């Protein structure tokens, strides 16, 4: 009886591991679609009514808000890629950075977007092990680059910037500066490291092949 129960449990867990990523993906895209659709959908419907289109106030074409949002983003990109658009953008950013509270929110959001869009040196470069939160315990961390500037000068030595993510959400965590000799650099890819974190260790990449 116990053997049957363990087999059922193993099969159920296998199905869960296969289904969860798909369910999470569907939920995220559904949320994004509905958010974009609700953003401009009602406004487009109102505009059509004002133009004399015979539709009721509660009518809304599914996906109309998404299409309108994507079109607006496209035309904003088209505008900001020419000389006049770039100048207008700089003036607009300058105005925003003069407003105390809005300045902090905008600057933080812009730095995050710029980091994602930059790729290359701005992204995680390697996976490493760091001894944390106490001796004998280790956490996965991502190396983001060498520490430079005042922090490196005051501390001295070969300092490395690392991001210590949390499980199961690797987008939150801590930024730390550590000496290179205190890190154990891993051979696994950044993608494998993220999978390991998100699964809480259930998904473990294979180690390097021994000759």
In the chain, where the domains are located:
22-85, 121-198
Task: Report the pLDDT value the prediction gives residue 121, as an integer from 0 to 100.
Answer: 40
Beta 138-146 vs 183-185: how paired, if at all?
unpaired
pLDDT digits (tens, 9 = 90+) for 163-184: 998 877 666 788 899 999 999 9
In this predicted structure, the answer to whether residue 65 has a pLDDT above a threshold of 70 is yes
Q: What percent of the chain has pLDDT over 70?
A: 86
Q: Whose structure tokens read 């949390």?
A: 166
Task: Report the pLDDT value the prediction gives residue 138, as an integer from 0 to 100.
Answer: 93
State the DSSP string of 32-68. Answer: HHHHHHHHHHHHHHHHHHHTT----TT---TTHHHHH
In sequence order, which residues have a C-beta less than 8 Å from that of residue 10 and are 6 or more positions away?
none
In this predicted structure, the answer to whether residue 117 has a pLDDT above a threshold of 70 is no
| Average pLDDT value for the chain | 80
pTM of model > 0.75: no
Which residues, in sequence order, are bridge partners of residue 75? none
Task: Report the pLDDT value the prediction gives residue 56, as an integer from 0 to 100.
Answer: 63
Query: What average pLDDT does the segment 53-66 reach?
Result: 70
In this predicted structure, the answer to whether residue 93 has a pLDDT above a threshold of 60 is yes
pLDDT digits (tens, 9 = 90+) for 131-166: 988 889 999 999 988 898 888 888 888 899 999 988
């Amino acid at each position: 009886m116990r053997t049957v129960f363990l087999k059922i449990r193993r099969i159920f867990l296998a199905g869960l591991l296969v289904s969860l990523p798909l369910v999470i993906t569907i939920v995220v895209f559904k949320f994004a679609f509905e958010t974009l659709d609700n953003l401009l959908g009602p406004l487009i419907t109102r505009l059509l009514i004002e133009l004399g289109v015979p539709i009721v106030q509660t009518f809304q074409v599914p996906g109309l808000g998404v299409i309108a949002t994507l079109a607006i983003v496209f035309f904003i990109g088209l505008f900001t890629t020419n000389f006049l658009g770039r100048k207008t953008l700089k003036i607009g950013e300058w105005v925003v950075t003069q407003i105390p509270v809005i300045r902090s929110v905008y600057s933080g959001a812009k730095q995050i977007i710029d980091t994602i869009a930059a790729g290359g040196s701005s992204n995680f470069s390697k996976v490493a092990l760091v001894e944390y939160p106490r001796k004998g315990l280790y956490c996965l961390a991502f190396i983001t680059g060498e520490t430079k500037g005042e922090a490196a000068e005051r501390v001295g030595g070969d300092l490395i910037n690392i991001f210590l993510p949390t499980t199961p959400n690797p987008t939150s965590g801590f930024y730390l500066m550590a000496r290179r000799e205190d890190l154990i650099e891993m051979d696994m890819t950044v993608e494998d490291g993220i999978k390991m974190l998100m699964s809480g260790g259930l998904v473990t990449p294979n180690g390097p092949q021994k000759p």
